[in-house]
Amino acid sequence: MNKPRTITLALTGASGMPYGLRLLESLLQSGQHVYLLYSKVAQIVVQQEMNLTLPSQPREAETFLKHLYGSSTGQLKVFGRESWYSPVASGTNPADAMVICPCTMGTLAAIATGLSQNLIERAADVMLKEKRQLILVPRETPFSTVHLENMLKLSNVGAVILPANPGFYHHPQTLQDIIDFIVARILDHLAIKHQLIPRWGEKQSPPTQ
């Protein structure tokens, strides 16, 4: 059995919160350790899109999410926006990988320019400087030239840009199937096994002409 990985997951205020929380659920169910960060605007979007209220206090959030998704003791750690003494803030104790899902264009731009003005941006900066895996999941359309330039800049320094653009060759029947497509691609890049969707060539009929 593979040793559980430690994944930093950040939720920012873009639309697409079902992707982020489904990813959290999948990481916990697969036995990974998760450091969770989320912005104030992310709390607003979660309420709007999923009718859930994420507590502002880390301990309350851990209790709420453990009840919602289930996790073992110590498996999930939630850090506040000003928790500068948390492991994610330093390259001396980095996570194995970090995912920002969903990722706002503002967060993406801040990371591309090295601002590190909040804990999410600092955690991402740590991933880049320590050559650890950083996956950004933007949910925006269309992309402006500025957006594309920032994505290219981050891609050139090793970040993975994984837009929330679901495929349809697996014949999704529900909204959950569409969400799971994106979450499955993230898990693939994290090298975490899952059974969310069939892989290409598995249990699929060839296209007809």
The domains of the chain, with CATH numbers, are: 6-189 (3.40.50.1950)
Which pLDDT score, from 0 to 100, does residue 59 have?
A: 96
* Confidence at 203, pLDDT banded by 50, 70, 90: low
* Confidence at 156, pLDDT banded by 50, 70, 90: very high
Question: Structure pTM?
Answer: 0.94
Map residue 2 onto helix, strand or coil: coil
DSSP 87: G
pLDDT in tens, 16-66: 999 999 999 999 999 999 999 999 999 999 999 999 999 999 999 999 999
Tokens read off for 103 = 């990722």
Which pLDDT score, from 0 to 100, does residue 139 have?
A: 94
Span 146-151, mean pLDDT? Answer: 98
Find the helix or strand (DSSP H, E) in which 107 lies: helix 105-112
Residue 208, pLDDT above cutoff 60:
no
Span 100-109, mean pLDDT? Answer: 98
Mean pLDDT score of the chain: 94
